[in-house]
């Protein structure tokens, strides 16, 4: 009874403390130069001692120069936002690890809930050096409609603007395709944090006659009534059956033609995938579906065991999940106090990894384990795997495993996850002592089995299907359309 009371008291105390921190948080608070440098040096020490691939794509000499550059860039007091976006983000990007990313403190995140800050008013689709409008916060604006091609903002060309934004966003090696998707998903957010706000934006664009023009847009400020409504109105959520809720994670649809099925997998973490795979492949076999499209364009990864299980259902030969899996350390000490859940992470590290002659701590069973294709309900038909920038981590491991096998084609764009390998398995957050800004810290390096040379690319598709401007205008799925045509054409020739 006493233990229960103590536990309840501690939980209640944490909740009240969290609420107090959130209410007292001020985004304009500035931290002294000395305080920020203290945070910076803590991060530097942790990365140098614990990150498994700090010098994988960037040499130690170059990384030392970057550490020095951004340390001395802290020349005055800064807000958390300034410190996070102008010091930490460009520093961490130089590691070239997509799993090492920066985010604001938990207190900032709570403060920002239900708030609509001022922003550049246009949403855009970004690819190569092209930017096309996909949405406009100013509904009265008749100039910048969907499809309008932008050439510069405030005198900064598309190329220079995109490259500067990329300098603040993490990626595996040089696999930048994921960053085009990030900018396309929320361009106003990234532009505000990296370039700051302007009262007016000079936006050059191509008009309907093909002539370049420049028009002025005002910064978008949400009406006060809408902000109050967003913040205070409680939205009644209708109960949704669990089976419908998990459709956001995975689904299987058999086309009305009976010629193919589409399996959409948005994660390898949720959605009760083991039972889903078992039911799905049994159904495909029973209904004699000869072609399967596996859409993992939005799959950011998850559990390697589940991506491996999917590989077993379609692989034509035995395979391994990884060549090597190792950490630099078996303990987070002496920095455990700066790591969220550090105590339990230390326990996991102790039991997961064992030291080998190279001085590194390996997960031996992942390196040794060989997998055979499933006997029951193995899929022998043609498989088309749709990929894109957000195809990441465990999804890129899956792509590497099955790429090049008979009857399996990757279609779409280069994955965001590294083809040679990536970092992950355990990825706790570093919580910096003063600002409480967060940096994800992957603890294991995973090198793909039968990997390519370390070129820094994502997994390259067998059939490249780039962004389609026509599809953007008319709002249809070009990549899926191309794959469907391949299936129909093949069925006609048989």
For the stretch 161-182, pLDDT in tens is 999 999 999 999 999 999 999 9
d(CA 83, CA 36): 8
208 falls in which pLDDT band (50, 70, 90)?
confident
Q: Which of 170, 219, 123 is nearest to 416 (CA)?
A: 170
pLDDT for residue 493: 78
d(CA 336, CA 100): 18
pLDDT tens digits for 79-138? 999 999 999 999 999 999 999 999 999 999 999 988 889 999 999 999 999 999 999 999
pLDDT for residue 454: 85
Indicate whether 14 pLDDT > 50: no
pLDDT tens digits for 282-299? 999 999 999 999 999 999
Instruction: Tell me the percentage of the chain whose pLDDT exceeds 90.
Output: 84
pLDDT for residue 238: 61
Indicate whether 236 pLDDT > 60: no
241 falls in which pLDDT band (50, 70, 90)?
confident
pLDDT for residue 24: 83
pLDDT for residue 247: 84
Q: Which of 391, 426, 364, 430 is nearest to 299 (CA)?
A: 391
pLDDT tens digits for 383-415? 999 999 999 999 999 999 999 999 999 999 999
Q: Which residues pair with 150 in a beta bridge?
A: 131, 205
Higher pLDDT, 321 or 65: 65
Higher pLDDT, 455 or 428: 428
**Mean pLDDT of the chain, nearest integer:** 91
Indicate whether 229 pLDDT > 60: no
491 falls in which pLDDT band (50, 70, 90)?
confident
pLDDT for residue 207: 86
Spatial contact of 452 and 419, defined as CB atoms under 8 Å apart: yes
pLDDT for residue 311: 98
pLDDT tens digits for 133-163? 999 999 889 999 999 999 999 999 999 999 9
Q: What is the 3-state secondary structure (H, E, C) of the chain?
A: CHHHHHHHHHHHHHHHHHHHHHHHCCCCCEECHHHHHHHHHHHHHHHHHHCCCCCCCCCHHHHHHHHHHHHHCCCCCEEHHHHHHHHHHHHHHCCCCCCCCEECCHHHHHHHCCCCCCECCEEEEEECCEEEEEEECCCCCCCCCCCCEEEEECCEEHHHHHHHHHCCCCCCCCCCHHHHHHHHHCHHHHHHHHHCCCCEEEEEEECCCCCEEEEEEECECCCHHHHHHHHHCCCCCCCCCHHHHHHHCEEEEECCCCCCEEEEECCECCCCHHHHHHHHHHHHHHCCCCEEEEECCCCCCECHHHHHHHHHHHCCCCEECCCEEEECCCCCCCCHHHECCHHHHHHHHHHHCEECCCCCEECHHHHHCEECCCCCCCCCCEEEEEECCCCCCHHHHHHHHHCCCCCEEEEECCCCCECCEEEECCCCEEECCCCCCEEECCCEEEECCCCCCCCCCECCCCEECCCCHHHHHHCCCHHHHHHHHHHHHHHHHC
Indicate whether 255 pLDDT > 80: yes
pLDDT for residue 246: 83
pLDDT for residue 253: 96
Q: Which of 486, 3, 154 is nearest to 290 (CA)?
A: 486
Indicate whether 233 pLDDT > 70: no
245 falls in which pLDDT band (50, 70, 90)?
confident
pLDDT for residue 336: 97
Indicate whether 355 pLDDT > 60: yes
244 falls in which pLDDT band (50, 70, 90)?
confident
């Amino acid at each position: 009874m006493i233990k229960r009371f103590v536990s309840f008291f501690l939980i209640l105390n944490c909740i009240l403390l969290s609420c107090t921190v959130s209410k007292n948080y001020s985004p304009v608070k500035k931290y002294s130069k000395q305080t920020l440098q203290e945070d910076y040096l803590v991060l530097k020490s942790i990365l140098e001692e614990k990150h498994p691939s700090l010098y994988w794509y960037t040499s130690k000499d170059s990384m030392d120069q970057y550490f020095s550059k951004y340390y001395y860039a802290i020349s005055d007091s800064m807000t958390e936002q300034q410190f996070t976006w102008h010091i930490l983000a460009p520093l961490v990007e130089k590691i070239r690890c997509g799993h090492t990313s920066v985010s604001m403190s938990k207190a900032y995140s709570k403060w920002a809930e239900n708030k609509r800050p001022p922003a550049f008013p246009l949403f855009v689709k970004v690819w190569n050096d092209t930017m096309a409008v996909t949405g406009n916060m100013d509904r009265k604006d008749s100039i910048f409609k969907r499809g309008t091609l932008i050439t510069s903002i405030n005198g900064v060309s598309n190329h220079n603007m995109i490259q500067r934004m990329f300098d603040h966003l993490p990626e595996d090696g040089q696999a930048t395709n994921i960053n085009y998707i990030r900018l396309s998903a929320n361009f106003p957010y990234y532009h505000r944090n990296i370039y700051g706000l302007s009262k007016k934006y000079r936006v050059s664009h191509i008009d309907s006659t093909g002539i370049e023009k420049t028009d002025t847009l005002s910064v978008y400020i949400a009406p006060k009534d809408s902000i109050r409504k967003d913040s205070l109105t409680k939205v009644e959520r209708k109960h949704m059956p669990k089976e419908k809720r998990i459709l956001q994670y995975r689904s299987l649809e058999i086309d009305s033609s009976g010629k193919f099925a589409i399996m959409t997998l948005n994660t390898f973490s949720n959605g009760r995938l083991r039972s889903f795979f078992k039911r799905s492949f049994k159904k495909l076999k029973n209904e004699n579906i000869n072609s399967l499209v596996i859409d993992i364009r939005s799959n950011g990864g998850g559990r390697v065991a589940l991506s491996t299980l999917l590989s077993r259902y379609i692989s034509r030969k035995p395979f391994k999940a990884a060549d090597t899996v190792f950490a630099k350390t078996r303990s987070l000490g002496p920095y455990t106090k700066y790591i969220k859940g550090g105590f339990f992470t230390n326990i996991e590290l102790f039991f997961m990894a064992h030291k080998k002659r190279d001085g590194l701590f390996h997960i031996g069973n992942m390196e040794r384990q060989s997998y055979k294709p499933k006997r029951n309900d193995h899929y022998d038909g043609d498989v088309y795997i749709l990929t894109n920038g957000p195809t990441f981590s465990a999804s890129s491991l899956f792509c590497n495993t099955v790429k090049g096998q008979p009857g399996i084609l990757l279609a779409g764009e280069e994955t965001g996850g590294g083809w040679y390998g990536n970092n992950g398995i355990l990825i706790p957050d570093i919580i910096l002592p003063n600002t409480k800004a967060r940096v994800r810290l992957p603890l294991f390096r995973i090198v793909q089995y039968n990997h390519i040379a370390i070129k820094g690319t994502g997994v390259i598709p067998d059939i490249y299907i780039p962004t389609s401007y026509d599809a953007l205008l008319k709002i249809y799925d070009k990549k899926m359309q191309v794959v469907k045509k391949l299936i129909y054409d093949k069925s006609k020739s048989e």
